Amino acid sequence: MIQNLEKSAHNTFVGRGLEREHNRRKDAGWLADKMKDETSFFIPVRQSKVLVGEGEVPAPVFFSPAQFLVHKKTDSALFLGEAEGRAYFAVVLEEKEFESFKGFGGFKDLRAIAPLLSQEEGAILAYAQALSYWHTRNRFCGLCGAPNQIGEGGHCLTCSNAQCGALRFPRTDPAIIVLIRHGEKCLLGRQQIWPPGMYSVLAGFVEPGESIEAAVAREIFEEAGVGVKNIRYHSSQPWPFPCSLMLGFTADAENDSITLGDEELEDARWFSRSELRQAVEARAVKLPTPVSISYRLIEEWLKDGSE
């Protein structure tokens, strides 16, 4: 397990330095002090995009309380945690509030700017984006429809209807992503909506009542008609697009025949290492973004052998 923790630590958006302060964030007085503390940072989040300065080297824009309060109140700020004594908060912006932040840069897709960020910056922004998304989708109680109220710095929501009082906690969607081998080849597929030529490892969501291993076997069979064995966990990656936790695996195919099944893939193929390297070099095949666990699974497989 330690080995897997180490592997996950190298995945983009996985942080190490932030202490989430599970107990202290329940203390409203402590949180209020942190919101006023001049060393604290506020991170505005707009529809799952983060604010990036447009200097020579793009960098995320973090605000002190005084700087932030000029633009927006901080009473609905979501507490992320503390690193080296500095507290980090995310703030969900409403549609009309974007304009006020225009002078600081642009709101960008985190996947696009992640290669330019440090590991810790990427991790904090991914966390800010994931928690913000959950809040924007849970403004009202799913049982009675009354507005929800933020508690524990954003780590719980309580229904404001006293008769109901339902509690909710942030959710993340587990998804499996699998590099399938057959001998010296690996299975990559493409979805129609992807950029031309892009191929990647197969993935899918874990369904209710299902183990992650069963999800691996089901998804690969549904998408490519391939039975798998020797399913091995590799590592995990928070993937807040919008709210997934990617669980990376490797597995061996029982045979190499492919039958495209559930219409998710428009093509799936077996590649040897040399075929894949040549296709990428010739730009006939494009691999997923280097910040994804899918890229890492493919990259490790390429380095594994020489065929």
Kindly report the CA angle at 120 between 31 and 97, in degrees rounded to 5? Answer: 55
Residue of 74, 161, 191, 272 interacting with Zn ion (CB under 5 A):
161
From the CB of residue 121, how many other CB atoms can be counted at a distance below 10 Å? 17
Residue whose CB is less far from Zn ion, 158 or 289: 158
Residue of 32, 112, 143, 167 interacting with Zn ion (CB under 5 A):
143
- Single out the segment in contact with Zn ion by CB under 5 A; choices: 55-63, 77-85, 158-166, 272-280: 158-166
Cβ 148 to Zn ion shortest distance, Å: 8
Residue whose CB is less far from Zn ion, 146 or 212: 146
By CB under 5 A, is residue 141 in contact with Zn ion?
Answer: yes
- DSSP string for residues in 247-278: EEEEEEES-S-----SSS-SEEEEEEHHHHHH
By CB under 5 A, is residue 159 in contact with Zn ion?
Answer: yes
By CB under 5 A, is residue 144 in contact with Zn ion?
Answer: yes
Question: How many residues make contact with Zn ion (CB under 5 A)?
Answer: 8
Backbone angles phi, psi at 220, to 5 degrees: -70, -35
Helix (H) or strand (E) holding 155: none
- Single out the segment in contact with Zn ion by CB under 5 A; choices: 17-25, 106-114, 139-147, 264-272: 139-147
Count the residues in the chain: 307
- Single out the segment in contact with Zn ion by CB under 5 A; choices: 32-40, 137-145, 225-233, 245-253: 137-145
Residue whose CB is less far from Zn ion, 161 or 172: 161
Spatial contact of 189 and 223, defined as CB atoms under 8 Å apart: yes
| Total H helices, total E strands in the chain | 8, 15
Residue whose CB is less far from Zn ion, 32 or 143: 143
Closest C-alpha to 120, from 163, 70, 62, 171: 62
From the CB of residue 27, how many other CB atoms can be counted at a distance below 10 Å? 14
By CB under 5 A, is residue 164 in contact with Zn ion?
Answer: yes
By CB under 5 A, is residue 156 in contact with Zn ion?
Answer: no
The contact set with Zn ion (CB under 5 A) reads 141, 143-144, 146, 159, 161, 164, 166
